[in-house]
Each structure stands twice: as C-alpha cells, then as structure tokens.
Structure 1
Amino acid sequence: MKLSFKPQHLKRYREIAQLLAKFGLSEAVHASGLESILGEGNILTRKAHPEPRELAEDLERMGPTFVKLGQTLSTRADIVPLRYLDALADLQDKVGPFAYEEVERTIFEEFGQRVSQAYLTFEPKPLAAASLGQVHKATLADGRVVAVKIQRPNIKARLAEDLEVLAEVAGVLEALTEIARRYEVRRIVEDLRRSLMRELDYEEEAQNLRLLAANLRDYPRIVVPAPIDDLCTSRVLTMEFIEGRKITAASREELEAAGGAALAEELLQAYIQQICLDGFFHADPHPGNVLLTPQGKVALLDLGMVGRLAPPMRELLLRLLLAVGEGRGEEAADLAERIGQPKDSFNEGKLRRAVCDLVSVQHAGGSVQEADIGTVVLRVAQEAGDAGLRVPRELTILGKTLMNLDQIGRALAPQFDPYASIRSGATRLLLAQLKRSVSGANSFARALEVNEFIQTLPSRVNKILDRVSNNRFELKVRSIDEQRLMEGMQKVANRVTQGLVIAALIIGAAMLMNIRTEFTIFGYPGLAVLLFLMAAGGGVALTWEIWRQDRKR
C-alpha cells in the first residue's frame, strides 16, 4: 500500500516527509514511499531529536491545519513526551490579518447588509488575527461595545485539502508500520477534523458562551461575554466586548486590590464545577484567554475549544484529583485504570508502580503545595499510556486546563494551594451531584421506570408460574461440565504416568547394559534388551492412542 501522490498535494507530502524524518521516523517515511519525493537532500539516515520548540516552529511554518494538529497532539499525554506538550500547547498562528474588503464581503454575505448598516461603528484594524479568523471592535446602534469575530475567507476549503492529505498519509502509515498502529494516527487525524469543524462553527461557539455563562451564574466574579443573537452566524460571531488585561501581566498592586487569593479560589472552584459537575468546561484557559477586568473580575474568553464529559467520567476525575491530592497512590492507579481502556500490551503492575511512585514523590515532605496539579494529572496520563492503556483525550485536556489554572492561580496568589481548594470544594460538589440526581426531571424519569416495572410485573410473574405448573420452566446455566473436566484430567494423568513408566524402562535398560549376564540377545544383556523393547512398545502404544483420540475430535 503506497500513497497516491496527487500532483496538487506534492508540496504537503514533502513537508510531512521532512518533518517525520527530522524527528527520527525514517522507517515510516520509507514504508509509505514518501522518501521518493524528498530528493537528493533527504535526511532519512539522520535520526535526530530536535528540541520541542523546533517541532512547534516547523508546524507553525506549515500553516493553520498543522498548528491545530500540534494542539491536538498536545492533548495526548499518553503518546507525546511531557517536554513537548508545553511547546505544542503554546503554538501560535503566524499569519497577518486579511483585508478589510474581505470583512465587508463576509458580513454582507452573512447578514445581507453592509457593515455600516449592521454596526454603528466598526474599526477596520483588527484587535487580533489568527489562522481561522480575526476580531474587530465595533459598536451597536444602542451604544453597546462589541467584539466581532470574522472567519477567514476560504479557510474551510484549505483545511479540507490538508485534512485529506493527512488522512491518506495516516491510513498508509497505520497499514504499514507498527508505530503508527500503536499510536493510532488515523484516530488523531479524525480528532483533528472534528475539532476544526467545531471551531469553524461560530454558532456553536455562541451556544458555548451562553451555556457557560448559565452554569457559572453563582460565581459573581467570573464573567463570560454574552453573544448578540441577531448578529451571529456560522462565520460571524458578535459578542459583548470585555475590557481587561492578562492576569500574568497585571502588577502585584492590581492583583492585591482585586483580592487575588479569593479570586484564585473562586476561579478554581468554578472550573472544578465545570469539570466534575456540569461536564462542560472551558478547555483553553491560557493567560491570553483569562483577563482581569478593571472591576476586579475574571473574564473567560474564546470558547472555540471546550471539553465535554459523561457523568461517569466526571465522578472518576473528581475521585482521581482527590486521590492524588491526598497521597492515595493505589487508589489513583485504580482510577487511572478505570478511566482508560486496556490494550493487549497493558501491564497493570507497571501502572501501579509508576502512579504510586509519582504520588509519593509529590507528597514527599508532607506537602503538595509546590506541585502543579495539572502536571501531575498529565504525568498520570503519560504513565497510563506507557503501561498500555488507551487514555481518553479528556484526561489530557483536563491536565492541560488545570496546568494553565495553576499558572493563573499562582499569578493571582503566589501561595495558592490548588489541592486544598479541591478538597474544600469536594463536599459541596458531592452534595450538588446528589441534589441533581433527585431533581424533578430525574425523579420523573425514575418514576416512569418504576411505573413500567409495576405494570409489567404481574404478567411476567404469571408467565413464570404458568411454565412452572406445566413443567415447562427451564433454568439455563452455562457452567463447566465437571464430569468432562474430570475425564480430561484423568486422561492427562494416565498419559503422564505412562510416559514416566516408559522413561523408567529406558533408564533401567541403559543401566543394565553395563552388567554382564549369561542371558544375551544379539550379544547384549538380555534383560536390558527386553526393557528397551517394552519401552518401545509402550511408546508406540501411547503415540497411537494420542493420534486416535485426536482423530475423534
């Protein structure tokens, strides 16, 4: 199986081949046939180990699809070394803004009106530009200041072409190389495709903003920009403009005036609720997306990347955080195993030793205040992957999210202890979970199940009693047939005994060969020859019995 080498994709094939070869994956390049397009200056024989920043820079040069690929890989702590995760997570789009004429064209196509009709004022120069879009500041007719996010023209077509190349390369590599199968590269490309499609749908991001704001309504110092419903489409997102600056760039005086310690506590509690109670969380809280407002509040921006967790996963993650925070290594290993999916190569002992060692090191000296909780979660994910577990990407996303929160929390309050915060909020979260489980909707659903059970119970009982009275009741139990098992064991024991007897006859005959006797056969001691003949006969009989029994099966 080889690549098709479509002419329009040759440049991408060459860039991918160079990247793989540079990072020591020459076997994959050779197996896929990519080496044929590298030219004379290929580097297949050079098994290098460049620095993480080099990988990030190479991906940035290759454009938006590969920037997003790097960000997707940064959610796979089970296959990517930790020292590469930070560099990949910090990947930035090195692209300039697109022309204002394109902005005007997009707004007209989406709203059917000119910029001057949709907005009272609109700044032509963007506040920020990225590979998928850029943001402008504007004012509505009612005087509200808004931020307008415009999708880059033709970006979907460009991404679709790159995704086609990546999917083809991944399919070939997985079919031909063991390393690609082990790392499930096709699954990585599929995760990338889904992530990009979600990020390109600004209506989904608007819905994310609404949902997060509703979930965090009990946190008065956490603000989320509200979308302007009438001015949101899949390619244009208009939302409330929030003034602020990066928390990591704020002065110590500003942070103290805002009550940094209390703000850090509220922020982490809000995220723990998102992750362990709501199952929906802002998955990209890097310093550029978390601002300190002039009113001393924290603003959460850019909900293009969010995490979603099923109820069982939420409980497991909360228990994992508590186990790590309290130094219960064995329990943390149990939870990591339950969170992941074992592969054929899974080594439970290796996982337990690694996780227990990790947790004990974090608790050396009796305190984990200096340890980053996000880093610990990422290390657990990596150890689980090394031990042969298929780790869900949600665990790595959680680790990255908490790692960013560690940085922001300590910027707000240098002595902030995230573990203490999690422990203090655990009881509240458990009570909230219990309250939700007995909510009106859940109680109604359970009542319907009970009603169905009560209605069907009499007919089911009658059917059982009818069968019993008519001697037609059957209880089918699949278990081991003890008689056949004992017969099989008896046959094995008989054959082993017969083999031992034959061995004893051969050994005895060999010993008698050195004893001179008057009774001889063919010039050899007669008794020894008889023993040899008996052993030979027994061996033939045993072989025949084995062959005959095998034929019956």
Structure 2
Amino acid sequence: MVTRFQRYGQIADVLIKYGFGILVEEVFPGSERLRAFKRRGQKEELPAYVRVRLAIEELGPTFIKFGQIMSTRRELLPPELIVELQKLQDQVAPLPYDEVKPVIEDYCPVFGDCFDLIEEEPFAAASLSQVHRAVLKDGSVVALKVQRPGIVDLIETDLLILQSLAERVESMYPDLRVYNPRGMVDEFAVQIRRELDFTQDGKNAERIGRNMREVRGVRAPKIYWQYTGTRLLTMEYVEGVRIDDLPALREMGLLPREIAERGFSAYIKQIFIDGFFHGDPHPGNLLVTEKGFIVFLDFGIVGVLRPEKKRRLINLLLAIVNSDVDRTMDALHDLGITIKPEDVDSVKDELYVVLIDYRDAQLGQFNFGMALIGLTDTLRRYRIRVPPAFMLMTKVIIMVLDVGTELDPTFNFDRNIRPHLTAIAARERFSPEKLLDVGHVINDAIDSLVRLPRSFAETLQNVTEGSITLEMEKSTIDRVEQMLDHVTDKILVGFIVAAIVVGSSLVLQVSDVTLPDYITWIAILGYAVAVVVGFYAIYHAIVYGRGT
C-alpha cells in the first residue's frame, strides 16, 4: 500500500515531469524534490493543456476520473482544456488473471459451483476494473466486471491529497474560492465512491432497464445478483457493435438514422420523464445488437433530477429552442443560477447573440449543442456557478447530439426535441402530482384567509397583554372584526373565481394535447360559473355600496 507521503512524492514527480514545477513549488510543502529533478525529463515543448491531460493520465485512476468529471464543467474551465479532458483515456494494461482471481473467489469460493468457464484474458480493462467473459453453470454467457485489488486504498489516499490541495489552493488564491474547489472535491469523492460499489452499478442498470421497457429497441443488460457484490458485477454478455460503427451497422442491415432517433428518444425519456439518466453516453458504452437493439453499458455515472428540476430544465430548453432571452434568464434563475445584478444586462446581451445565431443558423453550421456550449461559455466568463446536475445533463445532450449527427448528418435537434418537450410539459402540467400541488396551494391559501379574523383578534389580545396598550371601545373592535369577516368572504370568493378561470384557461389552451371530452366540458362549465359569480359580485357592489 502506498502511503500518503509517498503518493505526494509521486504526484510531484509527474507534475514536474510535465513542466508544472512552479505549481509544485507553490502548492506542495517542500521543494527539494523540484531542485533534485533533472530538467531534461520535462515535456514543456508540448502545449500546456496537452501536458495537463498527459499528467492526469499518468497520475492514475483517481485523477483520470476527476478529469473526466471536470470535462463536463464548461462553465468553469476554458474550452481548450475541456477538449483535452474529453480525450482522457481510462484504458490501462490488464492485470494477470491470478491477481484478480481472489476477488472472484470471494463471491464464489468453489469455481465449479458457479462457472463452467472464465476466460483469463479480459476483453476490456480500465483503471478501476477489468472485464472477463464467463459461462455460468446454466449456460448463460456473462461478463464479469472485477475490481482491481488495492484500488480502494489508492483512491482514498488520493482523495485525502485532493482535499488537502483544494484547501491550500483556496487559502493561497482567494479569487478561486468562487469556484468552490473543496466543494468540487467533495462532490467528486461521493461520485467515485459510488463507482467503487458495483452493487450500485447493478441497481442503476436495473432501474434504467425498467424505465426503458416502454421504448422500443432499447434495453440494459441483465444483472446476476447471486454472483454480484461490492467488488464483482456479473451481468449479461452482450454481442454487438459500437453505436458509431457505421459500416458494421449497415452490414447488419440496420439504418443509422433509425438508430439515432431511437437513442435520442431513449435519452429524452430518461432525462425529462424518468429523471434518472445514463451519464456517460460515449459510443463505447452504447452497443447495437444484430436485431437493432441499443444496449446501455457502464452505469457508474448517472444523473438524478427531482420533478421540480425536470420542469425547470424543460422550461430552459423550450426557452432556448424558441430563442427567448427573457424566458432563458427566468429559467436559469429558477434553477438556482445566480447572476450578479451588475452583470445581468451583459449576460442577456451575450445570450441574445447566442440564441439569435441558433435561430438563424443553417443546418450543419450551428446546432443546439453549440447553443448550449455558448450558454455555458457565457456563464464561465462571468464566473457564475451552476448546479452539477445541470452540467451533467448538458454534457449528455451534447454527446447524444454528436452521436446522432454522426449516425445521421441531417439529424435536427429542434425538429426532434420540440414535440417531446411540448408533450412532456403538458403531461407535467396536468399530472396528478401537479394538480395535487395546486390543490395544496389553494387549500393553504383558503386556510390562511379563514384564520385571518382569529389571527387579528389574537394579535389584539397580545398587544393588550404586552407593554403597548391600545384603548379601543368594544363596539369598535366588533365592527373591525365584522368588516374583516366581510372582506375575507369577498377575497375568498374572488380567489376561487380566479382559480376557476385560470384552471379552465389552462385546460382549453392545451390544444395540441388530446384530452377527454368531459375535461373540456368541465372547463367550459367553470367559465360559466365564474361569469355568474362575477356578475353577482358587481351587482352586489353597485347596489349595496362599499360599506356594509
């Protein structure tokens, strides 16, 4: 096991090797290693961001994973660095089978009780695990994802170092506190610890598989839980080709355009209906079978969106699609993205240019992915912090668009997304949960109005019992209470009439969604009731006057 002190030395050596000696001298305690290192080993002739990527790859799994996650943070990092971080490769030389065999034996001590065969040569290897093809006793062909021995200790050591470095960076460079380095490391620590728990990986796969049952031609591999644990994941072995392998798709008689539309529909459902989506849609994690099924792989990174966040993200995408700057700003505010008052006009100006470019663009020159990139670049320039879930969704949409346009150069996001978002927005608007929320709001408002006279009386009593004394005749108090009763009744009637009008208007406004006839008739009846009550209120006000 590598100690924390030894790991500090390894990290310093790699950073110096790639020309970041100044950073080592400023951030790492002690600089004798810098003075002792031979300068000819440095690689300063390469561009800076290329050296950053190479250093991260050499630093190992923790830093590779951190770099991959940071590649989604377009609002924080320069575009050139994002491009390099997206190239980070998580491919390493596999370990000999004898070194990973004890992990398998922890879950199946007697080989013959579980497997007929395990291929010793892995068909995939990454920094956290490697994958072996195997055959169960019942003949099922499976893939064994085996965690590398010792990887947990290494990652925990690296996390301690990252947390320490984040604290030093914040103390030495106060201007960087706006990016919350310690918060980013803490979020990353939660993420990578989840990835180290292969049971969570299996649960994510099953949930996405269940959610995808309604989408034709999309699925996730089956999980064999009797042979699965924290360090071993046993899942169905899938025969297929990468989703971006166009010659192979055509050779199997499949139409790339149909595959693109199917994958797009699957991700739209995951993000905006299920609120639980596959967070790493690079082509290697999307296989296409001979029958045309898209099969998702690797569920270590997933995005989670609560219902209210889904609605807000839908509003944001609709605002962008419609090139509406004001609605875009409102949607960003609803997502918790705070813009300094002095920057609002400048941000709106830049967003206006981005959205106008998107609206006026010709196919192939500017697409929705570029609009999202323009949005996040604007946020980065003004140092505006963005929720990680939003950035993960942005990354996923951009990657899905890239795959979609590679499969079908005529793929148009606007044409494909608009009917989805319109239908989803209408469904959310009239969902039982949404109606229940409206009911709660109305009920709370009515309760508050009903309690108003009592609250007023209690307030008067508290004032008389305190240090302030108000001398009022009983008849005056009675008149005030009577007046409040009448006012409350009128407000209550007005509130109910307004609620009926608004609700009926929303129902009749949704012309592009098929609604049962009885709902339409209820809306019309609501209008009629509102009109009658309104005329009565006007008559009452004219005849009896304002006073009672």
**TM-score scaled by length of structure 1:** 0.74
1:77 to 68, 74, 83: 74
Q: Mark the CA change 1:327 to 1:230 in structure 2 (over 3 Å): closer, same or farther.
A: same
Question: 1:381 aligned to 2:379?
Answer: no
**Distance change in 2, residues 1:15/1:460 (3 Å):** farther
1:70 offset after TM fit, Å?
0.8
1:284 is paired with a residue of what secondary structure? coil
Report if the CA contact (8 A) 2:56-2:67 is conserved: yes
Residue in structure 1 matched with residue 500 of structure 2 by the alignment: none
Counterpart of 1:362 in structure 2 is 358
Provide the alpha-carbon RMSD of the alignment.
Answer: 3.5
1:325 to 321, 324, 332: 321
Partners of 1:444 and 1:339 in 2: CA distance: 22
* 1:55 counterpart (10, 34, 52): 52
Find the residue that maps to 1:233 and give its secondary structure: coil
Distance 1:473 1:371, change over 3 A: farther
How far 1:143 sits from its partner (Å)?
A: 1.9
Q: Counterparts in 2 of 1:137-152, with a 5 A limit?
A: 137-152=133-148
SS of match in other structure, 1:147: strand
Written as runs of structure 1 = structure 2, the 5 A alignment for 1:424-443 is 424-434=419-429, 437-438=431-432
User: Match of 1:297, as an amino acid?
Assistant: F
Deviation for aligned residue 1:423: 0.4
8 A contact 1:231–1:237 mirrored in 2: yes
> Which one of 94, 99, 103 corresponds to residue 96 of structure 2?
99
Q: Do the aligned partners of 2:117 and 2:134 also contact (CA within 8 Å) in 1? A: yes
Work out whether 1:8 is the aligned partner of 2:6.
Answer: yes
The runs of 5 or more residues in structure 1 that have no matched partner are 477-553
- In 2, Cα distance between equivalents of 1:317 and 1:193: 26
Tell me how far apart the structure 1 counterparts of residues 450 and 327 of structure 2 sit (CA, whole Å).
Answer: 44
Quote how far apart the aligned CAs of 1:350 are.
2.3
| Structure of larger gyration radius | 1
CA distance in 2, matches of 1:370, 1:278: 32
Q: How much does 1:160 deviate?
A: 0.7
**What number of residue pairs does the alignment pair up?**
463
The DSSP-based 3-state class of the residue aligned with 1:248 is: coil
Describe how 1:325-344 pairs up with structure 2 within 5 A.
325-342=321-338
Check whether the contact 1:289–1:300 (CA below 8 A) recurs between aligned residues.
Answer: yes
Change in 2 beyond 3 A, CA 1:21/1:167: farther
Match status 1:229 vs 2:203: no
CA–CA separation in structure 2 for the residues paired with 1:383 and 1:102: 49
How far apart, in 1, do the equivalents of 2:249 and 2:241 lie? 14
Question: How far apart are the structure 1 equivalents of 2:37 and 2:288?
Answer: 51
- Deviation string 1:481-501 (CA, Å, 9 cap, x unpaired) is xxxxxxxxxxxxxxxxxxxxx
Picking from 242, 254, 260, the partner of 2:256 is 260
Partner of 1:273: 269
1:315 partner SS: helix
Identity %: 27
Find the aligned partners of 2:75 and 2:125 in 1 and give their Cα distance: 32
1:59 partner amino acid: I
Amino acid in the other structure paired with 1:60: E
Match of 1:351 among 347, 353, 357: 347
Indicate if the aligned counterparts of 1:126 and 1:137 stay in contact, CA closer than 8 A: yes
2:418 to 410, 420, 423: 423
1:391-425 superposed Cα distances (whole Å, 9 cap, x missing partner): 12222222221122112212322211122111021
1:393 corresponds in structure 2 to 388
Task: Give, as a single letter, the amino acid of the residue that structure 1 aligns with 2:102.
Answer: R
Report the alpha carbon displacement of residue 339 of structure 1 after superposing the two structures with TM.
2.9
Aligned to 2:397: 402
CA contact (8 A) 2:76 2:383 kept: no
Partner SS state of residue 234, structure 1: coil
The answer on 1:309 being equivalent to 2:329 is: no
Q: In structure 2, what is the Cα distance between the partners aligned to 1:113 and 1:443?
A: 54
Could you tell me whether the CA contact under 8 Å between 2:4 and 2:157 is conserved in 1? Answer: no
Letter in 1 for 2:135: T
Distance 2:452 2:80 in 1: 61
AA at the equivalent of 2:54: E
Q: Match of 1:243?
A: 239
Q: 1:215 aligns with which of 211, 218, 225?
A: 211
Would the aligned equivalents of 2:24 and 2:31 in 1 still touch at CA under 8 Å?
no
Using the TM superposition, name which of 258-267 and 368-377 deviates more.
368-377
Seen in structure 2, the aligned counterparts of structure 1 residues 130 and 176 have a Cα distance that, compared at 3 Å, is same
Aligned-partner Cα distance in 2 for 1:92–1:374: 23
Q: Is the 8 A contact 1:60 1:94 kept in 2?
A: no
The offset of 1:106, in angstroms, is: 0.7
Quote the offset at 1:335 in angstroms: 2.6
Superposition deviation, residue 302 in structure 1: 0.7
- Cα shift at 1:31: 6.0
Q: What is the CA-CA distance between 1:453 and the residue it aligns to? A: 9.7
Aligned equivalents of 2:272 and 2:365: distance in 1? 23
Q: 1:321 to 1:451 in 2, by over 3 A?
A: closer
Shift of 1:120: 2.5
Residues 68 and 454 of structure 1, relative CA distance in 2, 3 Å threshold? same
Partner of 2:164: 168
The structure-2 alpha-carbon separation of the partners of 1:13 and 1:151, relative to structure 1 and needing over 3 Å to count, comes to closer
Summarize the Cα distance change of 1:423–1:234 in structure 2 as closer, same or farther, 3 Å threshold: same
The corresponding residue for 2:538 is: none
Residue 65 of structure 1 is matched in structure 2 by 62
TM-score normalised by L of structure 2: 0.75
Taking the aligned partners of 2:27 and 2:300, their CA distance within structure 1 comes to 37
